Amino acid sequence: MELLSDRNTTTKTWPRSGNLLQYLLTDIWEIGSDPRVSKLPLMNGGPWLLLAIIAFYLYFSTYLGPRLMKSRKAYDLRSVIRIYNFIMMCFNGYFFVLCAYHTDFGLKTWGCHPIILKEADDMWHWKLKMIWFFLLSKFVDLLETVFFVLRKKDSQLSALHIFHHSIVPLDVWVGMRYSPSESACFFPFINSFVHMLMYLYYGLSTFGESMRPYLWWKKYLTQLQILQLSLISLHCFHLVLLPDCNIPKALFAIYLPQAILLVYLFVVFFIDTYAKNARKFQSKTD
């Protein structure tokens, strides 16, 4: 077994092929990456296809989509959205069970688990493929924004919503590429649990007014998201300070301010959505 820092990979000099553009677009992204991950689609070379998808998502959600829908009636997509939500709920539930089993309900993720290359280990290859499917699910999550646009739910297209959906696929890509170990699995573990509940809620909400009395727990989902991001921040901080551990701590140092920023944005959203509305309702009844 070899640690990541000791593994036998092709040494790349600057520039290895004599082509500076190829070096910047492809070769440099292979340095320090896990060669097992590089064999999967989207994971070879640089993150250019990933960034192109995110760029088009931003363009569509902020400009193209609203412009195309400006003179059109909102689409009734309840059946499509219902199927989408329950499929995503089942996927996230299945993934959460897998993560819970392989990480002792997330406890392993708080320890030091260096990246170990065992090319003949079929179990790890299977685990990497599961994380890759989790990455793909982050692109499927973007359909939620598409549905908002097509239904002309412009109030749902907040900066928080668009930023959150844009940054997560990139973070998962980087984490999978350069830190595929149990130490980096806390986010997939807790995120799949939260998304399972979120998709359950949104799936039930498509049944209309008859289901509304049973959906009183929406604000608790936002609180759960705040708790999730707070724990992710704490987990990143913990790994950065973990002594004598051969993991790429710089990645978690980069993730930490992102998670803290999202905590702040979700807290602001919660206050604006629930706390202020509660005060307005109270003032009307006094």
CB 33 within 8 A of CB 251: no
Residue carrying the six token digits 């599961």:
130
Residue carrying the six token digits 């290359």:
117
Both tokens of 242, joined, read 């973990």
Residue among 34, 201, 41, 227 nearest 115 (CA): 34
Cα gap 90→107, rounded to integer Å: 23
Please name every residue paired with 51 in a beta bridge, in sequence order, or none if there are none. none
CB 181 within 8 A of CB 113: yes
From 125, 161, 164, 238, active-site residue: 164
Cα gap 114→112, rounded to integer Å: 6
Please name every residue paired with 116 in a beta bridge, in sequence order, or none if there are none. 3
Cα gap 196→123, rounded to integer Å: 25
Cα gap 45→230, rounded to integer Å: 32
Cα gap 265→269, rounded to integer Å: 6
Catalytic, 164? Answer yes
Cα gap 38→40, rounded to integer Å: 5
CA distances from 97 to 89, 92, 94, 129, 228 (A): 12, 9, 5, 16, 17
Q: Which residues are within 8 A (CB) of 123 and not within 5 positions of it... i.e. 6 or more apart? A: none
- Tell me the catalytic residues: 164
